[in-house]
Amino acid sequence: MIARTWAGKKTAMKVGAQTALNMIKGAKPLSLGKALAARLWLSLRDAGVPVWLNTPLTDLVVEGGTVVGVRAEHEGRTVTIKARRGVVLAAGGFEHNLQMREQYIDGPQNTGWTVGATENVGEGIVAGQKAGAAVDLMDDAWWGPSVRNPDGPPFFMLAERSQPGAIVVNAKGERFVNESAPYVNVVHTMYEEEKKVPGSIPAHFIFDQNFRDRYLFLGNFPKRPLPQKYFDAGIIKQADTLAELAAELGVPADTLASTVNRFNGFARNGRDEDFGRGDSAYDRYYGDPTVKPNPTLAPLERGPFYAVEMVPGDLGTKGGLVTDEYARVLDDQGTVINGLYAAGNNSAAVMGNDYAGAGATIGPAMVFGFIAANHLADAESASAQEN
């Protein structure tokens, strides 16, 4: 909201001043996910726990039906690491494994659309399956509409979809979704639309010059030109009129014009009669509070007009090993596989196909990692008392 509200300007100035101060001091503060990872690593270091990087898992060691360790590649050799209490798999999902994506997920797939860690190729899930583990939700992911980056990771579209003055259209030039809905739900709808209107993946995020002048987009400040690399790669198209933009996209000009006109009427009245955009608190959270009565709706009326290719990106896959309330991995019969636990995106998401809100991935990962560790410790304690 830097260009829209005094609160936005004040926050930007505060962040800018703090950044300048950090540069003067030579400080490199961490935030968001980096801060969390650093704190966890520091806790391990303080506890004297060795951490091996660049050590991919290759298999589980199973003896007498119990998982007793792992095999991995470390410094150019295969090593076997035995586990006295058990093994906790927390190796992420399979978002960067195209073969697994195409095997389990229906619809167009591309490992270049995910912002998940490149190391997440599903080895933990495959190892669990070899040990007899059941899997679930393998056809789903922590989806999020994204924009391809010609020379880097894709841009995850979070707030942009709620900001007024933009719509998403399919291959016919028609709206098909509440653009402001939770990102997982939007991509579910994108895949449903692809089945009805082939060619709708990628969809197109369309906005006018008013939108460009008011809001950040692709990390670029309002009113500044968008990077040429996106135009050169055909990811963004620009035209003076909607008819010319339709020609660039290969969609019927009359349909696109009708779509925009209908939406503009909703925007002026403050009520999206087709998809209910702005009806929920979630929709409005990322909207523009200066726009009344609906902070997510404004007409598209001032050229030039822009169309941005929008792909079904993700934060990671959602499917994995089936676990119980103690994070123990189960087989197809619902029986516990002794010595094997899983957490995070290595396990089937506790959220199911739904999305509860920010933290729906990292929250359960931390909780069930904690539960697994405590269950292992309690089991060890009970065994020691028996002996």
SS3 letters for 8-39? HHHHHHHHHHHHHHHHHHCCCCCCHHHHHHHH
> What pLDDT shows up at residue 380?
63
> What pLDDT shows up at residue 159?
92
- Domain 144-314 has what CATH class? alpha beta
Question: Residue 332: helix, strand or coil by DSSP?
Answer: coil
Query: C-alpha angle 72/76/80, rounded to 5°?
Result: 30
Whether domain 55-140+318-386 has CATH 3.90.1300.10 = no
CA-atom Rg of the chain in angstroms: 24
Q: Strand 236-239 vs strand 305-317: parallel, antiparallel, or unpaired?
A: antiparallel
For residue 26, the tally of other CB atoms under 10 A from its CB is 6
d(CA 340, CA 329): 6
Q: Which two tokens stand for residue 106?
A: 């229906």
Q: List every span in the chain annotated with CATH 3.50.50.60.
A: 55-140+318-386
Cis before 295 (ω within 30)? no
Going by C-beta distance under 8 Å and a sequence separation of 6 or more, which residues neighbour residue 128? 60, 89, 135, 320, 321, 329, 340, 342, 346
3-state helix, strand, coil in the chain (%, to 5): 35, 20, 40
> What pLDDT shows up at residue 387?
47
Location of structure tokens 């199973």: 62
For the entire predicted model, the pTM comes to: 0.89
Q: Strand 87-89 vs strand 336-342: parallel, antiparallel, or unpaired?
A: parallel
Cα 221 to its chain centre, rounded Å, is 23
Going by C-beta distance under 8 Å and a sequence separation of 6 or more, which residues neighbour residue 345? 92, 93, 120, 142, 316, 317, 318, 320, 361, 365
Render each residue's pLDDT in the chain as its tens digit; 387 residues.
888 889 989 998 999 999 999 999 999 999 888 999 999 999 999 999 999 999 999 999 999 999 999 999 999 999 999 999 999 999 999 999 999 999 999 999 999 999 999 999 999 999 999 999 999 999 999 999 999 999 999 999 999 999 999 999 999 999 999 999 999 999 999 999 999 999 999 999 999 999 999 999 998 999 999 999 999 999 999 999 999 999 999 999 999 999 999 999 999 999 999 999 999 999 999 999 999 999 999 999 999 999 999 999 999 999 999 999 999 999 999 999 999 999 999 999 999 998 888 888 999 999 999 999 999 998 765 555 554
d(CA 340, CA 321): 10
φ and ψ of 367, to 5 deg: -65, -50
> What pLDDT shows up at residue 383?
54
Q: List every span in the chain annotated with CATH 3.90.700.10.
A: 144-314
